[in-house]
Structure 1
């Protein structure tokens, strides 16, 4: 269930549309076009417990059969689909199927426990929940999802949801309407449900894709696909340029270094810890550097000592700043002077406006700014009538 969100000022909506930042394309349209353009692109899951290897076309077949099966069970545009899965093929199938149906997809990170999942289900009132039978400490809990009409468990009965024939095309949805709810944890309250539209997600996908180096190679995605950036990097950005998907379901520096040498895969960044854990691992060798040409850093504090260390190894560092609410606020270009790339989070990105309040609070607005929260009171407390997001 997605309730009312904030009212976007008319002049902003008109400007975003006239600039081409907001289009009439839905998430289903984006997925359909991307899959059609690169059906033979590789899709690989490098997992010790559920490895998988195939192509975009293979995953699309599963996604379209799932979409047809869910449609037979009454799922359609505007309905909510929650999934809590590791970085597995089935996560992509659920995400793409939801987009094709015009449903509102809710990815949940696999490390959320019973309390968080109960809160998310109560908040979103989904028609569908899909999770694993078991993954590490994550275990299927029938009582938690008992109120959800359609439940699928990967490793048990997920395939029962697949129709014999795949769904053709996509179902129509409102491009300005809700497409995704991303839950982000707070330290003093329940996880916040951040609502994004087809338009905000579409622009963010294009914004992020433009920032990826053209010669990045076959990147490894180890960020959880239940997390906003992990989801974008695995399921949407590759559809823009036909780049292969390589998923890892646990953060394992030794395995990543092995994939670099044996499979020719590359790594492009994350939080500072992710890069330093590779460099500090006993298996790391200078021979790994060609697979670490770039380090896009963000998501947590980025110590200058780390960026200077990477630069000293010949790694091109570029930093960024954003949040689940406003994913890409600032970023440093690959061509920016080195001191700017190493020591700052860059400049405002395309379409982004920034203001500083009298008390120093950062205010932002732009085409990828979310619609608000599932909590109307929280929305009212951080978004003003002129469309500014008060970051706190």
Structure 2
């Protein structure tokens, strides 16, 4: 969290993250170029560099697409999510270098403008074998540029989180275009089945992880029946770890129910920064801390501690016996709700229902 915008909000974790990223990419490029020169001794240095940059960008894109569902399935992957935007910008730099070198090598030496040549040199749009695959890569790169250019919090704030999120969901369109770009391009001239196997494995992994994550989300999104006074039973007190949350669906909205210091509070599960899942975070220094980028909110009011101004909706709660109930109607963001105290000796009965003698 910050009161002003910085080009990059550096800290020790981000420096380590980016150092490992750059070191890994340099190692990959060196190994790829070395092996490529041995396997394809007749290939030019420019061709090998184009292939190295393209495969590095595509590999990094697969990693980026896998991080989200992996974090949904296992919290141990959350450190990878913390600086995912740096992965995305790095991937765009690799992809743009690949595209720039490709346009220069294949289109810059003719009489036409290179970009014009890209679209008119091959007009076989009705042929699967001869399809102009470079155009697919161009449009994918255009999407990646829009995402990289708007990755900063300045654009997130000014575009608003919903618009920003929809824009960045175009990564799946770019991914589809790039899979088609490789399938209709490199695979057409590749004699070895290795590239086919690697591409199929990547596509299968991304698809499987997203389906598994979606199945988990569907289970969490099942609405529960309300009691007579409108409150919805969501979970047992003992099922919520201390300073953690139980995420449930109430009235079609995900709610994070936190337990801390003998109290229960409920807030919207959606962080105001990038729609991160607050319920997958924990309470640190008395504040709900988003697991994605560390944005914090007071559990009883859903407001960020001063001088910050972010706010999320809150929900009324009550406890009957060992059962936690949440009212499905959200209160305005930042509205303080008195936390429900955990009292072990509370008589067990349904809220709003009189128990007959």
Q: Larger RCO: Structure 1 or Structure 2 (Cα < 8 Å, ≥ 6 residues apart)?
A: 1
TM-score by length of 2: 0.27
Q: Greater share of helix residues, 1 or 2?
A: 2
